[in-house]
Amino acid sequence: MTKFHVGRFILAGVLTAVTALALVALDVRPAAAQAACESECTTGPTPIPTYSPSPSPSPSPTPSPSPSPNPYPSPSPSPSAPPGPTGADSSGNSIGGLANQRFNQMITNRVLGTVLLGVNEQINCSDCISAFGSAGSFSAGIHGRKELTNNLSLLAGIAYTQYNEGGYKITSAPIGAFALRYDFTDWGSSRPFFDVGTILTPWEKARYTRSYDTSLGPVSVTSSTNASNYAVYGRAGWMSRVSPRDEVAASIEVWQLWQRVSGYSDNAVAFNPFDASIADGTDRTSLVKIGGQWTHLFGSNIETNINGGWVQSFASHSGIVATVTGNGTVVPTMGNQGWFEYGGRLGFRVQKGWIVDLFANGTLGPQPVGNTIHGGVGLRINY
């Protein structure tokens, strides 16, 4: 009995050891072989699962940080705006046109003023007074002469005028003029004479037009302001009574003209991208005139006078200082130029001492003076 039990014990131990060895062998097989075996041996007996410790996971590599977004992203480009109109240069050049208008204004004011000083009448004649009206440039007034002594005479007149030329218009402009003439009558029929005088227009309404071109079309702006004109002159000449019906004279004149214009800005218009503002300013110019005249009596009832001369400006200056959008400050220059001035009168003696006059005065020359004519009719009374 004892042996049997010992033998059985030994056999059980051997079986136990074999089983343990088999289990150890199974446990140390690679995991890949295990998986292969499980997939291939689907018909065999299912092995007894045994516990094996899970392998420690290998550390996964730390991912590289992706760049953080820019906290100040660049703005998306906006669609480009359409380009604005061009024409700033043309707008700046138009200021030169204003300077030309103002130069013409000075000359026209002077031409109208000389009518009040008897420019269409003979140098020496009896006392007279004349009421007149003119067209071309509207003017209405009265002028005349009065002998103060045998040698000294006063010439004076006043008129209301309005005129326009080359883009500007003058209204509500009273003109006054007076001069003293010294005639050496005691020298005989051929003798010298001298004049000194002035022409005054203390206030007038002025409208100036400025025009320029842009890529979107032309622009024209008319603006209003106030102006005033002043002139002084001296004249030296020689006159001769060549016959009882004829008087001829030649002379040289020196003038100084000033024109004061108040500041203004462009009036509001629908389209004016390059607007301008004009400051207060004074234009000025000096003139020299060399001229002559002839007065003749036809029969006993018709008087005629023709006169003319060459005028040269010098030391001219524009008082314009303009601020123009797209150009800044613009100061135009006013060049010197020459032109011809003419005048004439046709008088009809309707009765003794009463004469109806038709007269005209004007200029011939390049711009800005240009070709102008101012004509009218008057009733003159000699006494």
* 16 φ/ψ angles, rounded to the nearest 5 degrees: -65, -45
In single-letter form, the type of residue at position 328 comes to: G
Using one digit for the tens of pLDDT, what is the confidence trace for 289-314?
Answer: 999 999 999 998 999 999 999 999 99
> Is beta strand 246-261 parallel, antiparallel or unpaired with respect to 281-298?
antiparallel
Residue 128 has pLDDT above 50, yes or no: yes
Alpha helices for the chain (secondary structure H)? 2-27, 31-40, 88-115
Task: Answer for the pair 357, 375: CB distance below 8 angstroms, yes or no.
Answer: no
Using one digit for the tens of pLDDT, what is the confidence trace for 186-242?
Answer: 999 999 999 999 999 999 999 999 999 999 999 999 999 999 999 999 999 999 999
Cβ neighbours for 373, distance < 8 A, ≥ 6 positions apart = 136, 360, 361, 362
**Which pLDDT band holds residue 74 (cuts at 50, 70, 90)?**
low
What is the pLDDT, as a whole number, of residue 70?
A: 54
Q: Which residue has the tokens 């440039």?
A: 137
Which position has the higher pLDDT, 70 or 370? 370
What is the pLDDT, as a whole number, of residue 142?
A: 97
Task: Answer for the pair 173, 162: CB distance below 8 angstroms, yes or no.
Answer: yes
pLDDT-wise least confident of 133-137, 150-154, 197-201: 133-137
C-alpha dihedral sign at 142, 148, 150, 154: negative
What is the pLDDT, as a whole number, of residue 312?
A: 98
E-assigned strand segments in the chain: 128-135, 138-147, 152-165, 168-183, 190-214, 217-243, 246-261, 264-265, 276-278, 281-298, 302-317, 322-324, 328-330, 338-351, 354-364, 372-382
DSSP 63-111: PPPPPPPPSSPPPPPPPPPPPPPP-HHHHHHHHHHHHHHHHHHHHHHHH
Task: Answer for the pair 382, 127: CB distance below 8 angstroms, yes or no.
Answer: yes
Q: Which residue has the tokens 């299912």?
A: 46
Residue 10 has pLDDT above 80, yes or no: no
In single-letter form, the type of residue at position 317 comes to: H
Using alpha carbons only, give the angle 288, 293, 296 rounded to the nearest 5 degrees: 170
What is the pLDDT, as a whole number, of residue 135?
A: 85
The residues facing 221 across adjacent strands are 210
Which position has the higher pLDDT, 82 or 44? 82
In single-letter form, the type of residue at position 321 comes to: V
Task: Answer for the pair 100, 94: CB distance below 8 angstroms, yes or no.
Answer: no
> Is beta strand 168-183 parallel, antiparallel or unpaired with respect to 264-265?
unpaired
pLDDT-wise least confident of 65-79, 192-206, 222-236, 320-334: 65-79
What is the pLDDT, as a whole number, of residue 55?
A: 46
Mean pLDDT of the chain: 85
How many alpha carbons lie under 13 Å from residue 310 in its C-beta half-sphere? 3
